[in-house]
Amino acid sequence: MFAAPFLEAMLTGVVTGVLIRYYMLKRDYRQYPSYPHGTTIHLAMAFIAAVIGSVAVPALMEKEFTAVTFLALAATQFREVRDMERMMLKNLDRANLVSRGVEYIEGIARVFEARNYLVMFTSLLVGGATYWGNVFYGLLVAFIAFLISRRLMGGKIVGEIARVRQGKVHFKGPNLFVEDIHFMNLGMESVKEKYLERALGVIIEPLDDNARATLANIGQRMAIAHDVATLLGLYKDVDTAEFTPILRRDLDTGRIGMIIVPIERDIEFLIEAVKRVPVLESAYRAPLKTNIGSKASD
């Protein structure tokens, strides 16, 4: 049963599958810091996915149909990966000064599940190609799969759907504004002074109606606050809730204003950080793609 082409197909499939997962994990880093053990868990998962994927086609050709049922088994397993990631991130989120938000966590968990499927399909195709042809065909398919998964991985970022620029932070009485967007009421003089001294304001202008609807999503705004706070540091602790970064929407124009008190007071990188925040899959809206939405917009 373990003929040479069978082993060859499995080996090529498994190796390429795990390598592709490892490549995707590296790209993951900013979105979800994977600790050494997190990496191990996901590589182990990828290995299982790759093994199952790569045996599927040879098994079918050898008329070992039971082997294919393992694919279904694997799908259940990977749904558990999603649950595991979701649970863990939710638990960890309580320890964040600026929480990620449920939508962001859901997005990350979904990505983890999806990437395991990508690995499985890669291994399936590579294993099949190797078994049907030889290792050369396998590697060719692996390269194509690599290009496809790289494309599938790259989602949109905020910088592609909106213009980000600096906004002036100022007070009217106790009320805090960035340009004409109202944020909150702050009583203490000392807090106001700190804001005027250290805070940075940013205005995010959506490029079209799709972007306007996407940026209105609260989960998307929480994701922006979380990512920017992670990248620039936050002048805040649990007992100074007034320094929490806030994003508010200008009702008239759909612009989003953001106020943050960072540790690194550098507007250039703040804007860059905002631009690089991923657009959440669950927040993405496209009213312009419908008849009603596009007609209503003009």
Q: Which residues bind other proteins (CB under 8 A)?
A: 173-174, 184-191, 238-242, 244
Burial of 205 (0-12, 13-18, 19+ CB in 10 A): middle
How far is Cα 51 from Cα 45, in angstroms, rounded to an integer?
10
- Shortest Å, Cβ 297 to other proteins: 30
Instruction: Give the nearer residue to other proteins in terms of CB position, either 179 or 242.
Output: 242
CA-CA distances (angstroms) from residue 106 to 41, 83, 212, 223? Answer: 19, 9, 22, 11
**3-class DSSP assignment, residue 154:** coil
- Shortest Å, Cβ 180 to other proteins: 19
- Shortest Å, Cβ 252 to other proteins: 25
Structure tokens at 70: 């393992």
Instruction: Give the nearer residue to other proteins in terms of CB position, either 240 or 297.
Output: 240
How is 13-56 classified by DSSP, letter by letter?
A: HHHHHHHHHHHHHHHHTTTS---HHHHHHHHHHHHHHHHHHHHH
Instruction: Give the nearer residue to other proteins in terms of CB position, either 241 or 292.
Output: 241
- Shortest Å, Cβ 162 to other proteins: 26
Structure tokens at 94: 């309580």
Instruction: Give the nearer residue to other proteins in terms of CB position, either 154 or 174.
Output: 174
Instruction: Give the nearer residue to other proteins in terms of CB position, either 239 or 298.
Output: 239
Residues 6+ apart with CB under 8 A from 214: 161, 206, 220, 279, 283, 284, 285
- Shortest Å, Cβ 192 to other proteins: 10
